[in-house]
Every structure is written in C-alpha cells, then in structure tokens.
C-alpha cells in the first residue's frame, strides 16, 4: 500500500480503531512514543503527550528502516 495515496476516510477509521502500544519501559504511558499497526502494512507513530495531533505514517519497510537505524545507533545526536 502506498501511504501517499491513502483515503483520508480510511485513515480516520484506522486511527479511531487503532490499538496504540506504549513501551513497557515507559512510566505510566506519558512522555513517550506510541505505535499502532494499521491494516495494509501501515504503521502510525504518535507522541503520547499530544494524541490528538495527526500521527506520522510509515509503510512497514519505512518503519523497519527507522527502527533498524535506532538499533544500529545511526540516529544518535552528533
């Protein structure tokens, strides 16, 4: 699925019904990133402090590249 051609109504339905996950290392689910795996190979990422704001959407491949970069230390601040 191409995330750039997603129907806004589909996105709205997916996000309304999403099961948001928070890291088990989080203290009470605040001040962290939350993810939801949507249908069609789309991953939504949001800030738990601002759940009403539109989340970032990734394809499965983009999400894998993003998390892989974190695991390899490629996204550390210089």
* Count of domains for the chain: 1
Domain membership of residue 71 as a residue range: 1-16+32-78
> Over the stretch 55-75, which tens digit does the pLDDT of each residue have?
999 999 999 999 999 999 998
CB 55 within 8 Å of CB 44 = yes
pLDDT at 67: 93
Pairing of strands 33-38, 42-47: antiparallel
pLDDT tens-digit profile of 20-38?
998 776 666 567 889 999 9
Has residue 58 been placed in a domain? yes
Residue 65 has a pLDDT of 96
Say if 4 falls within a structural domain: yes
Please name the residue that has the structure tokens 């989340």: 55
Confidence band (pLDDT; 50, 70, 90) for 48? confident
- Residue 24 located in a structural domain: no
Within 10 Å of residue 11's Cβ, how many Cβ atoms? Answer: 17
């Amino acid at each position: 699925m191409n995330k750039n051609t997603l129907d806004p109504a589909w996105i709205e339905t997916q996000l309304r019904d999403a099961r948001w996950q928070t890291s088990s290392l989080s203290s009470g689910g605040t001040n962290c990133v939350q993810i939801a795996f949507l249908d069609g190979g789309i991953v939504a990422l949001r800030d738990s402090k601002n759940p009403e704001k539109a989340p970032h959407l990734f394809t499965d491949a983009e999400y894998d590249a993003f998390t892989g970069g974190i695991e390899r230390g490629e996204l550390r601040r210089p």
